[in-house]
């Protein structure tokens, strides 16, 4: 599918083209959504540059993600498309930009593209050229990255308060299992945002390197540097969050281990408490004929009493030693 954005009084008008329709020559932004070979060729003809295929977009080599075409700069970056999932999904988006227009190629629905579409249609102050639309997208993408990292940080803070504040009920296995799963989910989220930020940092550096080719003005160059600093700070925040997640995981497992050790200690002490009466019962159960207590009428009560006294004495000893 081809979505063309053409200049109008109020901004850029959105035109969703039917199969076989010609791409308007006045298009400033051409959005290719899972394009067919024919749609891709139509965009290439208007752009004057070759557009990468789906297999080429999926390549991870830097040379396949950042390169030059005649009159255009080709860049591919990963953008989040489903951040609320346990394992956030990413989708590669290719930007083919020249001084005149922008072509985006995507096979997913990144929210940043949707927001950018609404903004360029409503904001008539955005210049009608490719770099201006690209920088509008970059502004949205950087904000989205910051929001997602802040969301992960907030989830971490909530879980940390739960672990160190109220503590985990380790007698219920599901309690600490859920906590560890939540830690893993936050870690996956941060890891995916690291991937996004790494790709964006390379892309921003590549844009600044080829600023003259794209015809960037001083304001756009300043914005490019600012976005680069923002991405760097987001990555640093993610690194710090990774360290905090590792600490919280160690602390959670440590608290569980301490609780389990306490339970094991209780059973050990209980075993020691009942060891003296077991010894007494064993002695009186020998049933030798030369034992005078066998013919003693009060022997049974005496042995029972001795067992109880040994239990109480052992219990008080461990209480005195603060082992119970």
Q: State pLDDT tens for residues 144-167.
A: 999 999 999 999 998 888 888 766
The domain boundary residue, chosen from 232, 260, 288: 260
Helices (H) and strands (E) in the chain, counts: 10, 7
Pairwise CA distance, residues 247 & 243, whole Å? 6
**Is residue 23 in some structural domain?**
yes
- For residue 213, the domain's CATH number is 3.30.460.20
pLDDT value of residue 301: 73
**Rounded Cα–Cα distance for residues 324 and 312 (Å):** 13
User: Among 208, 206, 228, which residue's Cα sits nearest to residue 218?
Assistant: 208
Label residue 315 by pLDDT band (50, 70, 90): confident
pLDDT cut 90: percent of the chain above it = 44
Whether 171 and 228 share a structural domain: yes
- pLDDT score recorded for residue 292: 62
What domain range is 29 assigned to?
Answer: 2-260
Residue 226 sits in the same domain as residue 297? no
Give pLDDT tens digits for 162-172.
888 766 555 55
- Whether residue 64 is found in the same domain as residue 97: yes
Same domain as 67, residue 213: yes
- Whether 269 maps to a domain, the answer reads no
Q: How far is CA 243 from CA 72, 88, 161, 182, 237, in A?
A: 41, 20, 17, 16, 10
User: Does some domain include residue 134?
Assistant: yes
Q: Are residues 166 and 311 in the same domain?
A: no
- Evaluate whether 163 touches 255 at the Cβ level (below 8 Å): yes
Whether 14 maps to a domain, the answer reads yes
- Return the SS3 of 3: strand
* Domain match, 156 and 123 both: yes
Determine, yes or no, domain membership for 105: yes
Q: In terms of domains, do 294 and 246 share one?
A: no
Lowest pLDDT segment from 39-48, 229-238, 290-299: 290-299
279 and 255 in one domain?
no
Last residue of a domain, one of 237, 260, 283: 260
| Same domain assignment for residues 162 and 240 | yes
**Number of domain units in the chain:** 2
Q: Residue 35 falls within a domain, yes or no?
A: yes
279 in a domain, yes or no?
A: yes
- Name the 3-class secondary structure at 237: helix
Label residue 11 by pLDDT band (50, 70, 90). Answer: confident
Q: State residue 166's pLDDT score.
A: 66
227 within a domain of the structure (yes/no): yes
Q: Are 140 and 114 in contact (CB under 8 A)?
A: no
- 61-72: b (≥16 Cβ within 10 Å) or e: eeeebbeebeeb
Q: What is the pTM of this model?
A: 0.78
């Amino acid at each position: 599918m081809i979505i063309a954005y053409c200049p109008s009084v109020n901004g850029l008008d959105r035109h969703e083209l039917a199969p076989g329709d010609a791409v308007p020559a006045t298009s400033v932004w051409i959005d290719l959504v899972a394009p067919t070979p024919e749609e891709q060729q139509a965009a290439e003809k208007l752009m004057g540059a070759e557009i990468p295929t789906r297999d080429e977009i999926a390549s991870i080599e830097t040379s396949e993600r950042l390169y030059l075409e005649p009159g255009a700069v080709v860049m591919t970056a990963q953008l989040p498309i489903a951040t609320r999932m346990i394992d956030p999904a990413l989708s590669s988006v290719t930007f083919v930009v020249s001084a005149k227009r922008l072509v985006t190629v995507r096979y997913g629905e990144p929210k940043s593209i949707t927001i950018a579409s609404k903004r360029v249609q409503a904001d008539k102050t955005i210049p009608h050229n490719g770099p201006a639309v690209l920088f509008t997208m970059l502004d949205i993408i950087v904000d989205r990255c910051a929001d997602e990292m802040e969301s992960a940080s907030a989830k971490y803070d909530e879980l940390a308060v739960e672990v160190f504040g109220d503590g985990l009920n380790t007698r219920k296995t599901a309690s600490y299992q859920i906590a560890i799963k939540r830690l893993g989910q936050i870690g996956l989220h941060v890891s995916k945002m690291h991937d996004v930020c790494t790709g964006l940092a390379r892309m921003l550096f590549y844009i600044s390197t080829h600023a003259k080719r794209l015809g960037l003005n001083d304001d756009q160059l300043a914005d490019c540097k600012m976005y680069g600093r923002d991405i760097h700070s987001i990555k640093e925040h993610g690194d710090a969050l990774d360290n905090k997640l590792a600490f919280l995981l160690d602390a959670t497992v440590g608290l569980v281990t301490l609780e389990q050790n306490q339970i094991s200690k209780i059973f050990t002490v209980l075993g020691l408490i009942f060891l003296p009466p077991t010894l007494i019962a064993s002695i009186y159960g020998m049933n030798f004929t030369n034992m005078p207590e066998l013919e003693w009428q009060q022997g049974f009560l005496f042995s029972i009493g001795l067992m109880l006294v040994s239990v109480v004495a052992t219990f008080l000893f461990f209480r005195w030693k603060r082992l119970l």
